Amino acid sequence: MRALLTTSIGVACATAFTLPLAAPAPAAPVQAPVAQTPAAAPGEPAGSTQSLPLRPLTDAAPRTTGEPTAPAAAQGLPRRDSHRFSLVGVVWDDAGTELHGTVQVRTRATGTGRWSGWQSLETHNTDHAADSGSPERESGTVRGSTAPLWVGESDGVEVRVRSESSAPRDGSAGSGLLPAGLQVELVDPGDDPEEPRTEGAPAPGTSSAVPAVAPSAGTTTPATAARPGALPELAGLGLAAAESSAVNADLAPLGATGITALSKAESEEQAVVGAAAKPFVGPRPAIVTRKGWGADESLRERSFAYTSTVKAAFIHHSATGNNYTCAQAPSVLRSIYRYHVKSSGWRDFGYNFAVDKCGKIYEGRAGGVSKAVLGAHTLGFNTNSMGIAVLGTYSSKNPPAAAVTAVAKLTAWKLGLFGRNPKGKVTLVSGGSGKYKKGAKARLDVISGHRDGFATECPGIRLYKKLGTARTSSAKLQGR
């Protein structure tokens, strides 16, 4: 991976989905490297991305002075046919350039042949991204992008992008000019996995026993590489040190499709705490792994990146709209994943976790659900935090209670593993976010909305207002 060291793992695994995941051990260095994973296995759902350049609109609205709008301030794509797609977004060349204006699309449904009305895309700008100076941001592949919009299976598209004001008469750069290199991205998520599994459902042939797992000769595991001496709770199971490390490596990279929920007692048993400390760890919720929602592992960069700990959770909405069914959620995730990697140039899915409108929890960025995986979700505050995206748009629509409950369950467990109180405060050092200068110390809620770290509408005011409920419920699940 760009500027990241990697090691290699070869793990033969007879998995059991009730296997306890380990709590984190003492902090590892920021962006500590671990293993590379194999490319996508045959049979994983295929997908595709169509990239179509935008052109100046000839029917641009006139200025108030009566002069025509500058071509750079109004671009689009006339109505046209396309290959199948279900998600649409607009990208441009420079990730550091903001798009000040409106982006709207119309699409034609494959089933009915009918065209939708104009739908707006959240301009997104720079607030969801890897931090400035990070290898991911400085890779040279990252582009500016709108939020993607889920439109359902479609085969026709029309696009219009207009700046919020006219270009300056002197020709200088300003908000009247749209970013260079605008193009629309049409994403087909491909088909669902052959045997989609509900979260927590064990795979055929697995049992509830702890499997014997041994790393290949000459390799190191994620746990031994990044956290020497970790996982003392497994010593009581009679496993060798190498076996303990391998057992505690998360199941997702090894091909699991679901990680089952644990009871509160089982979660407490796996927590690494001081001799006199009470383990405030909520029960581990059921989580659909990347394999479970059909992630094509050949798309992402093969190495993983970690931060030292998880101090806070930032809650987002995906801004992809609410016109999806819960059965379509895996397709929505595959589309966002492809858009983040192939269109926006990120190394992987941006968020650490996602939650659908029915309250199902999904693994996001690869690297292990119990680990401090570095995401690209909250510009300036990706280090030592995790990002949770609720699928949908919640600016004018209330989030379903099931989704808010899922956020509470997930944070009670994951924050508990790192000793965090969901109702508490935490100090984070900004990597530069616009709202906070680089190096500034921000005192934030342990469970914060995206807007707390960046001047953005995310996670939508309706979801943001539910965060107090999520904090209280999360703390109760931890036994506080």
- DSSP states along 261-299: ---HHHHHHH----TT-----PPPPPEE-HHHHT--TTT
Decide which of 50 and 97 is more confident: 50
* pLDDT confidence bin for 279, thresholds 50/70/90: confident
Q: For position 132, what pLDDT does the model report?
A: 61
DSSP-assigned letter for residue 156: E
pLDDT, tens digit (0-9, with 9 covering 90-100), for 52-105: 999 998 754 444 444 444 445 899 999 999 999 999 999 999 888 889 999 999
Mean pLDDT, residues 29-54 taken together:
60
The CA distance from 210 to 154, in Å, is 46
Closest CA to 143 of 49, 232, 229, 213: 49
Copy the structure tokens of residue 461.
């005011």
Q: For position 45, what pLDDT does the model report?
A: 64
Packing angle of the helix pair 467-477, 401-417 (nearest 10 deg): 50
CATH T-level fold of 1-46+194-480:
Lysozyme-like (3.40.80)
Judged against a pLDDT cut of 70, whether residue 309 lies above it is answered with yes
CB 253 within 8 A of CB 402: no
Q: Is 115 helix (H, G, I), strand (E, B) or coil?
A: strand
Q: For position 476, what pLDDT does the model report?
A: 97
* pLDDT confidence bin for 431, thresholds 50/70/90: confident
* pLDDT confidence bin for 13, thresholds 50/70/90: very low
Neighbours of 62 (CB within 10 A): 10
Decide which of 26 and 259 is more confident: 259
Judged against a pLDDT cut of 50, whether residue 1 lies above it is answered with no
The reported pTM is: 0.76
Tell me what percent of the chain is helix, strand and coil, each rounded to the nearest 5.
20, 20, 60
Alpha-carbon 379 to chain mean position: 13
Closest CA to 382 of 21, 137, 212, 161: 137
Decide which of 210 and 338 is more confident: 338
* pLDDT confidence bin for 10, thresholds 50/70/90: very low
CB 430 within 8 A of CB 380: yes
- φ/ψ of residue 448, rounded to 5: -115, 160
Q: Give residue 439's region: left, alpha or beta (phi > 0; psi -120 to 50).
A: left
Q: For position 332, what pLDDT does the model report?
A: 98
Neighbours of 418 (CB within 10 A): 21
Closest CA to 101 of 52, 146, 68, 151: 146
pLDDT, tens digit (0-9, with 9 covering 90-100), for 234-274: 333 333 333 334 334 455 555 677 777 766 665 655 554 43
Q: Is 83 helix (H, G, I), strand (E, B) or coil?
A: strand
* pLDDT confidence bin for 126, thresholds 50/70/90: low
The CA distance from 335 to 345, in Å, is 14
Mean pLDDT, residues 166-186 taken together:
68
Percent pLDDT > 70 in the chain is 66
Q: Is 359 helix (H, G, I), strand (E, B) or coil?
A: coil
Mean pLDDT of the chain: 77
Judged against a pLDDT cut of 60, whether residue 109 lies above it is answered with yes
The CA distance from 317 to 449, in Å, is 9
The CA distance from 397 to 317, in Å, is 11
Which of the four CATH numbers 2.20.28, 2.60.40, 2.60.120, 1.10.287 does domain 48-188 have?
A: 2.60.120
Decide which of 93 and 135 is more confident: 93
Copy the structure tokens of residue 442.
């921000």
Q: For position 46, what pLDDT does the model report?
A: 78
Mean pLDDT, residues 447-466 taken together:
92
Closest CA to 128 of 414, 381, 297: 381
Copy the structure tokens of residue 429.
């050092």
Amino acid identity for residue 428 in this structure: L
Lowest-pLDDT range, 182-186, 254-258, 343-347, 362-366?
Answer: 254-258
Percent pLDDT > 90 in the chain is 56
Q: Is 124 helix (H, G, I), strand (E, B) or coil?
A: coil
Return the top range by mean pLDDT from 148-157, 426-435, 451-460. 148-157
The CA distance from 227 to 249, in Å, is 11
What is the H or E stretch that residue 268 is in? helix 264-270
Alpha-carbon 179 to chain mean position: 25
The CA distance from 347 to 31, in Å, is 14
Mean pLDDT, residues 424-442 taken together:
88
Q: For position 432, what pLDDT does the model report?
A: 79
Q: What are the residue ranges of helices labelled H in 161-240?
A: 222-226
Closest CA to 259 of 13, 470, 17, 465: 17
Q: For position 33, what pLDDT does the model report?
A: 39
Decide which of 11 and 351 is more confident: 351
Lowest-pLDDT range, 183-187, 208-212, 388-392, 471-475?
Answer: 208-212
Give ranges for CATH 3.40.80.10 in the chain: 1-46+194-480
Q: For position 64, what pLDDT does the model report?
A: 45
Decide which of 429 and 247 is more confident: 429
Mean pLDDT, residues 185-194 taken together:
92
- φ/ψ of residue 215, rounded to 5: -70, 155
Copy the structure tokens of residue 76.
């689009």
Give ranges for CATH 2.60.120 in the chain: 48-188
Lowest-pLDDT range, 97-101, 273-277, 290-294?
Answer: 273-277
